[in-house]
Structure 1
Amino acid sequence: MSSPTAFRMATDGAYTAFKTVNLNGVGGVSYYGGDTGSQLIMGDLTTDNLVRNVEGRNSNFAASNFEFSSDNNQTAGLYGAAYNVIAKANFVLKHINNGVITGAEKNSIEAEVRAIRAMAHFDLVRAYAKIPTQSGDAGNSIGIYYSESFDPTQSGGISRNLTVNQVYDKIIADLQFALNNINVTSADKGRLTKAAIYGLLSRVYLYKGDYNNVISNGQQALGLSPSVTSRSNFTNIWKSTSTDGVLFQVLNSAQENVTVGVAYNQTIGGQIRSEFVVDYNFYNSYASTDIRKSTYFTTGTYSGKTYNNVMKYSTVGGAANVVPIKYLRTAEVVFNMAEAYYKTGNEAQALILLNSIRAERYSPYTPGTETGQALLNAIYNERRLELAFENDRWYTLKRLGLGVQRSGKGHLADGTGTAPIAQTLAASSTKWQWPIPQTAIQQNPDIKQNDGY
């Protein structure tokens, strides 16, 4: 770390760690690479959005059946992958005061890596601990270890020593520092910007149940990046290189060739073989006038059977399944704000925001006029339609204290075929908190396992 270039490269390495499949120098499970435990699909295959295709390779089958365990990479993989990202961020912070970079340059680099660190800790705490709004006792329940230093030789003294609320406070502190110091302009949205930090804060505050801060940070994000993605550009942000309405994405390229979409399907002999397909009832909840239906799905035949395939991550015109990952979009911020406005008593503004999304998704479009519970239901429904297969559904159900209720439909395009074995997961189940990997506990015996494992 003896030059500004070295700091830039190390910071870029923290971003890259979100997608690379490489832990401890050997193959491992990452955030988005590979087809087991990828966060591109885990938040949906554990819910009512996806159905396992029995003609696939049975990847992630145990997780889809709620068979979570501490030695299964499907739910345990995020743990190591996220702390790998955090370690790379903390490596930069370890050297940040060595005098090589100073002033605004130093502050902006520190802002980037602290925001990256906050993002990874947030993904950990919402997966492996309770969410503050999930239940009355959630905020004071056991959180996660918040890693703030780089020490690869540390073999003890690591414990889940914070409550959920305390972890959220640290996440917010890192993001607030980033907000006050970041100085990045990134046309490809592959680096965090002030607009992205505001958007991330709107997400964190929504999970925390602090709706006034959801609104205030959301307003700032929209002021800097107001587009929710126009209807004319909507297909392009998934199938081409458009970043309209994207606040932050994990970059991917043909040279890197990280096949993030392989968790959903592969193309064999010109036919699509899916690991998971969209649930029949959910598929039919998309109107024919909704641009998302034709963008997200393709109905096709494989080995003589017809499926409704999820093609959201299939291609941007190059190598199959090699696409950028949209970590945060302005549309999510709008849904965060609409829900927050509703819950603070401003239904009129909630409806305006909801309609701003619907106006860019449906054609023809007539503005909605819902009020009361019907309005809140519409916000939740449109959020599900918009953020499907973006790692949102599991956590939305969890933060709202709701269970999973699947449709009972099968894996074929007409709803017949093999339905998921497990159809329900009660809101009270301990499985909403994923198990800490057994390997992590063996390395750090002070880490407490979650209840039920």
Structure 2
Amino acid sequence: MKKNIIKISLAALTAFVSLTSCDRNLDQVSSINEPVEQAMSRPESFRQALDGAYTSLKGAGYYNGDTGSQLIMGDLTTDNLIRTASGRNSNFAASNFEFSSDNSQTTGLYSAAYLVISRANFVLANTNNGVLSGTQKANIEAEARALRAIVHFDLVRAYSKIPTQSADAKTSIGIYYAEKYDPLNNSASRNLTVEQVYDKIIADLLFAADNITQNDADKGRLSKAAVYGLLSRVNLYKGDYDNTIKYGELALGLSPSVTQRANFSKIWKDKEGDNINDGVLFQVLNSAAEQNTVGVAYNQAVPALRSEFVVDYDLYTAYTASDVRKPAYFTTSAYSGETYNHVTKYAGNGGPANIVPIKYLRGAEVLLNVAEAYYRSGNPASALTLLNKLRNERYSSFTPGTETGQALLDAILKERRLELAFENDRWYTLKRLGLSVQRSGKGDLFDGTGAPAVEQTLSAGSYKWQWPIPITAIQANPNIKQNDKY
């Protein structure tokens, strides 16, 4: 009988990968081939395999590479970023709304995400083999299901409609929800509605919330606080504001910091020291040893800072001089005789350039989720209290706001844009709110002059809000239906 053989190696494309990083101490396993049943006969193998799934988030198309990185795609497709005339034109097609099924700028996420899911499902496929028991087994299964859930969420919000986007969104076509380890599966189909996919995501996260025991101190692995925070995110997109509040408050109860003002710049720099993870709930670890230069999608030092995309002038000027985020996110400097407002949020400091951990979820986002949900649920007082809590930690001179009505919602959404800029939020916020992209018409230079974006608008009703399924995926499995008009 032919045995399934598994290679224990960081470079392997199988689901089993050992992770070696200066960010945490893990047993190192030499590169060997062995049958799955032998490899998974050791309790430590489950942790190594699950860390391999986490590591896949650093693959090209997810959080690595110049093209299609989720660190920049959610912003360059909106009014947050503008292409520079002096850049290399990486991701230009996507920034110009030229989405196609053979362009990795908008299709790279698809295969990268299903690789993470496959690796998580490999772990789940072996948890009942008798090697693990008790809380150890429960935690591994909970982590794997939570990771599987959030990656499916990233897929469904990109390639399908968002429940609050339009009246027909919940019953529109979803994505394939992979619940078993079957890497050669070529019969999967998009047989679920968007609402059904969200229900599966939430079911996995609820299981994780009930069973996870991972210590919150390790920000590179999912914890109970992170899972509650992710439940708040998913429920906000679903339009379930009661549960957005419920799980967001639980997350903030376990991890209340939204990053203190004094620590804000520290969390964006890859340096050792106190408070570098203040307000972080879950991050994708990265280290100099791995050489994953995740920030190169924005710019490179050659030796002067050369940017592919820079912040839109209207957004840049929305950050006041007293806003701690402004110096943390931007550097104004010249390249090739022109001055730009560069996005240096991921440039690093004191180590190799552009190698920093990726903040997948922060307490500030959870607070903003809950504040918006409180407003939409008819509790503006609680919404304002939370909003003022965040603003107090971002402005060196802040008088508590007193906004009411539409002005309060506008203030919440403004702070969301300022806080989560360049964190893969803007495209999806506009999409879930059913809004158009409307760019400022300003140019790429530091004062708003220079070359503006070619395309200035994308209407709320455009089919392009649902990205195309890669043609390679459809060729491999014709059961996968392409999105309309691609």
TM-score range, shorter chain: over 0.9
1:17 aligns with 2:56: yes
**Which residue does the alignment assign to 2:105?**
74
1:281 aligns with 2:298: no
Q: Look up the SS of the partner of 2:152 in the other structure.
A: helix
Q: TM-score, normalised by structure 1?
A: 0.97
The CA distance in 1 between the partners of 2:185 and 2:381, in whole Å, is 53
1:266 aligns with 2:300: yes
Q: Look up the SS of the partner of 1:300 in the other structure.
A: strand
Residue 265 (structure 1) shift: 0.2
Q: Look up the SS of the partner of 1:290 in the other structure.
A: coil
Listed as ranges, the gaps of 5+ residues in structure 1 are 21-28
The CA distance in 1 between the partners of 2:411 and 2:90, in whole Å, is 33
The CA distance in 2 between the partners of 1:310 and 1:152, in whole Å, is 38
Q: Look up the SS of the partner of 2:58 in the other structure.
A: coil
1:179 aligns with 2:179: no
Work out whether residues 316 and 322 of structure 1, in 8 Å CA contact, stay in contact via their aligned partners in 2.
no
1:370 aligns with 2:403: yes
Q: Look up the SS of the partner of 2:328 in the other structure.
A: helix
Residue 416 (structure 1) shift: 1.1
Q: TM-score, normalised by structure 2?
A: 0.90
Residue 186 (structure 1) shift: 4.3
The CA distance in 1 between the partners of 2:216 and 2:50, in whole Å, is 14
Give the letter for the 1:450 counterpart.
N
Deviation per CA, 1:360-407: give whole Å up to 9, x if none: 000111110000000000000000000000000000000000000000
Equivalent in 111, 115, 118 of residue 142 of structure 2 = 111
**Which residue does the alignment assign to 2:347?**
314
Give the letter for the 1:65 counterpart.
N
Equivalent in 29, 36, 45 of residue 67 of structure 2 = 36
The CA distance in 2 between the partners of 1:318 and 1:5, in whole Å, is 32
Q: Look up the SS of the partner of 2:264 in the other structure.
A: helix
Q: Look up the SS of the partner of 1:277 in the other structure.
A: strand
Residue 257 (structure 1) shift: 1.2
Q: Look up the SS of the partner of 2:305 in the other structure.
A: strand
Equivalent in 215, 223, 231 of residue 201 of structure 1 = 231
**Which residue does the alignment assign to 1:249?**
283
Q: Look up the SS of the partner of 2:185 in the other structure.
A: coil
Work out whether residues 146 and 205 of structure 2, in 8 Å CA contact, stay in contact via their aligned partners in 1.
yes
1:147 aligns with 2:178: yes
Equivalent in 367, 373, 388 of residue 355 of structure 1 = 388
The CA distance in 2 between the partners of 1:316 and 1:111, in whole Å, is 35
Equivalent in 76, 86, 90 of residue 55 of structure 1 = 86
Give the letter for the 2:442 counterpart.
K
Deviation per CA, 1:44-65: give whole Å up to 9, x if none: 0000000001211100000000
**Which residue does the alignment assign to 2:247?**
217
The CA distance in 2 between the partners of 1:344 and 1:169, in whole Å, is 21
- How many residue pairs are counted as aligned between the two chains? 443
The CA distance in 2 between the partners of 1:11 and 1:340, in whole Å, is 33
Residue 238 (structure 1) shift: 0.5
Work out whether residues 112 and 192 of structure 1, in 8 Å CA contact, stay in contact via their aligned partners in 2.
yes
Name which of structure 1's ranges 184-193 and 418-427 shifts more when overlaid on structure 2: 184-193
Work out whether residues 125 and 164 of structure 1, in 8 Å CA contact, stay in contact via their aligned partners in 2.
yes
The CA distance in 1 between the partners of 2:242 and 2:96, in whole Å, is 37
Query: Which one scores higher on RCO, CA 8 angstroms, separation ≥ 6?
Result: 1
The CA distance in 1 between the partners of 2:125 and 2:61, in whole Å, is 24
1:430 aligns with 2:430: no
Give the letter for the 2:114 counterpart.
Y
Q: Look up the SS of the partner of 1:298 in the other structure.
A: strand
Residue 341 (structure 1) shift: 0.3
Deviation per CA, 1:169-196: give whole Å up to 9, x if none: 0000000010011011142400100000
Work out whether residues 216 and 224 of structure 2, in 8 Å CA contact, stay in contact via their aligned partners in 1.
no
Residue 247 (structure 1) shift: 0.3
Work out whether residues 237 and 432 of structure 2, in 8 Å CA contact, stay in contact via their aligned partners in 1.
yes
Listed as ranges, the gaps of 5+ residues in structure 2 are 1-39
Work out whether residues 261 and 322 of structure 1, in 8 Å CA contact, stay in contact via their aligned partners in 2.
yes
Work out whether residues 188 and 243 of structure 1, in 8 Å CA contact, stay in contact via their aligned partners in 2.
no
